[in-house]
Amino acid sequence: MKAQIIIIGDELLNGSIQDKNISPLAKWLDQIGFACDQVTITKDREDLLLPVLKEAWDKSDLVITTGGLGPTEDDITKQILAKLIGTTLAPSDKAQQLVEKLYSRRDKLWNPELNHYHLIPKGVEVFDNPKGFAPGLMIKKDKRLLLATPGVPRELMAMLEETLPDIIKESFPNMDNGPKVITFRTHGIPEEKIFGELCPGLWQELSHYGKVSSLPQVIGVDIHILLKPEFRKDYQKTKETIVNLVQTKALKDYIWSNEFITLEEAVIKKASEKNLKIGCSESCTGGLVAHKITNVSGSSRVFMGSLVTYSNESKKDLLRVSEEVLKTKGAVSEETALEMVQGTKEKLKVDVALSLTGIAGPLGGSKEKPVGTVCIGEAFGNSSESKQYQFFGDRALLKERFAQTALLKALKIIEKL
C-alpha cells in the first residue's frame, strides 16, 4: 500500500519554523504497513497545492495532509480539498456538533463568528481532533483515503494516537503492520570503513535479507535492513539470524545496540535493571545531558540530577573544584573534569557520575584548546577518571556530540557494573 504526505504551510518554506510532523507521520505510516515514497512540502497557495494534491490522490492508496485547517485567512486547505473533489464549502451539522464538543472539552463556547470550523466541503466526513479545535477531514473514494489533519504538532500527534488508528483499520482491514526493520547502532568507526575495510562483503550478505542502508549519525553510523516480505513473517527468528551473523564480524566491537533506541533510553534501561542511581555535572553541554535523560519517561527512578555549573564560581561553590586547578589547568581540563565528577558523585549521592567541561564555540577557543575540546569525567565505586576529546562542528552539534559521548561512557560503565 502506498502513502504520500503533503505538508502545507508557507512558514516551512521560508525557514521560519522547522517541520516536526514529517518524521512521526513517516514512522507511523511505516509501522501500520504503508510505504511512504514521497513527502511534499508546499505553500498554502492554490496554484501550488492543488496540482500536488491531485497527483498524490491519483497515485496513492492513502494521502495525508497537514496544515491549513486553522481559523485565519491563510488557511485554505478546506477550499482546495473542495476543488479537488469538485464541490464547495457548506455548513455541516456533523462538523458543528464536533466543533462544539471540541470547545466544550476546554470549557469554552464555540463562536462561529471567530472561525469557520463548521464549513466543510460538501459530502466530506469530519473526525475528532483530541487536542485542538479544527476537526480533521476525510475523503474516501475507490478504496483510497485522504486525511486532512492539523499542522500543529501536538494536535497531529494526538490524532495519530487516538483518532486515526480506527479510521485506518476500517478503511484498510488487511494491513501488514508487523516490524520489518533491523537496526544496528555503531560508534567509533567511519561509514566507509565499515563496509570497505572492516567487513567487506557484509553489505552483500545483509542484502540477502532486505534493503540495506547506512546512515551517519552524531557519534556513529546506523545500519538498517528493511526486510524482504518473506523474512518479515518470523521477525524474531530473522533478527536472531542476522544478529548472530553480525556477531561473527569485526563490526561487533563497534555496535552499542541492536535496537533502534537512543543512548539515553539505553542508559536509563540498564541503570533501572541494575538499580543504580546516576547523576552528572555539565558545563559546556549546559543541561543537554540532563535534558536528554529526562526525556525518557521513568528516568526519575534512577536519575538524581545534574549540576549545570556554567561559571567558574558555580564549579567552586557547588562542586568544590579547587581555585588552584581552575587557575593552573583551566576550566576546560582533565583535572577540572575529574574534580567536577568527584564533587558530583558526592553531592548527588549517586552510583555513577559523569562530568563535562569543554568549548562549544564559536567563541572561547585557543590554540591549545580549540573549539570542540571537551573533557569528560566518570566516577563509580571508588574509582574516578577523566579524559580529553576533540570534536568538529558548530555549537549545537558540539553540544550534541559531547552529550552523546558522555552517555555512551555511562552506558559502558553501567553495562560492566
Does residue 171 interact with a second copy by CB under 8 A? no
CB of 142 to a second copy, least distance (A): 23
Q: Of 92-100, 118-126, 138-146, 195-203, which part binds a second copy (CB under 8 A)?
A: 195-203
- Binding a second copy (rule: CB under 8 A), the pick from 88, 97, 104, 311 is 311
Does residue 216 interact with a second copy by CB under 8 A? yes
Question: How far apart (Å, rounded) are the C-alpha atoms in residues 179 and 366?
Answer: 49
Of 319, 311, 314, 351, give the one whose Cα is nearest residue 335: 319
Does residue 396 interact with a second copy by CB under 8 A? yes
Residues 237-266 close enough to bind a second copy by CB under 8 A: 260
The secondary structure element, H or E, covering residue 191 is: helix 191-193
The grid coordinates listed for 235 are 521477525
Beta bridge partners of 6: 40, 65
The grid coordinates listed for 324 are 588552584
Does residue 28 interact with a second copy by CB under 8 A? yes
- The Cα diameter of the chain in Å comes to 78
Q: Which is nearer to a second copy, 330 or 393 (CB)?
A: 393
CB of 52 to a second copy, least distance (A): 7
Question: How far apart (Å, rounded) are the C-alpha atoms in residues 274 and 160?
Answer: 34
For Cα atoms 340, 344, 348, give the angle at the middle one, nearest 5 degrees: 170
User: Beta-strand (E) ranges in 81-143?
Assistant: 89-91, 119-121, 125-127, 136-141
Q: Which is nearer to a second copy, 87 or 364 (CB)?
A: 364
- Binding a second copy (rule: CB under 8 A), the pick from 48, 50, 85, 243 is 48
Q: Of 83-91, 140-148, 163-171, 219-227, which part binds a second copy (CB under 8 A)?
A: 219-227
- Binding a second copy (rule: CB under 8 A), the pick from 58, 93, 107, 113 is 113
**Centroid of chain to Cα 253:** 26
The count of chain residues that interact with a second copy, using the rule CB under 8 A, is 112
Question: Does residue 236 contact residue 182 with C-beta atoms inside 8 Å?
Answer: no
CB of 218 to a second copy, least distance (A): 9
Of 68, 71, 90, give the one whose Cα is nearest residue 80: 68
Does residue 73 interact with a second copy by CB under 8 A? yes
Q: Of 85-93, 191-199, 238-246, 372-380, which part binds a second copy (CB under 8 A)?
A: 191-199
- Binding a second copy (rule: CB under 8 A), the pick from 61, 100, 222, 334 is 222
- Binding a second copy (rule: CB under 8 A), the pick from 12, 146, 164, 199 is 12
Q: Of 25-33, 90-98, 231-239, 375-383, which part binds a second copy (CB under 8 A)?
A: 25-33
Question: Does residue 282 contact residue 407 with C-beta atoms inside 8 Å?
Answer: no
Does residue 364 interact with a second copy by CB under 8 A? yes
CB of 123 to a second copy, least distance (A): 26
Q: Which is nearer to a second copy, 22 or 89 (CB)?
A: 22
Question: Does residue 182 contact residue 237 with C-beta atoms inside 8 Å?
Answer: no
Does residue 181 interact with a second copy by CB under 8 A? yes
Question: How far apart (Å, rounded) are the C-alpha atoms in residues 51 and 114?
Answer: 30
Question: How far apart (Å, rounded) are the C-alpha atoms in residues 326 and 312?
Answer: 8
Q: Which is nearer to a second copy, 70 or 121 (CB)?
A: 70
Does residue 317 interact with a second copy by CB under 8 A? yes
Q: Rounded to a whole number, what is the distance in angstroms from the first to the last CA of the chain?
A: 47
Does residue 93 interact with a second copy by CB under 8 A? no
Beta bridge partners of 222: 185, 215
Does residue 323 interact with a second copy by CB under 8 A? no
Q: At 353, is the secondary structure helix, strand, or coil?
A: strand
Q: What is the DSSP string of 241-265?
A: HHHHHHHTSGGGGGEEESSS--HHH
Exposure on the CB side of residue 258, measured as CA atoms within 13 A: 14
Q: Of 232-240, 268-276, 290-298, 407-415, which part binds a second copy (CB under 8 A)?
A: 290-298
Does residue 177 interact with a second copy by CB under 8 A? no
Q: Which is nearer to a second copy, 26 or 245 (CB)?
A: 26
User: DSSP assignment, residue 360?
Assistant: -
Question: How far apart (Å, rounded) are the C-alpha atoms in residues 184 and 166?
Answer: 32
Residues 373-392 close enough to bind a second copy by CB under 8 A: 392
Q: Which is nearer to a second copy, 61 or 125 (CB)?
A: 61
Does residue 41 interact with a second copy by CB under 8 A? yes
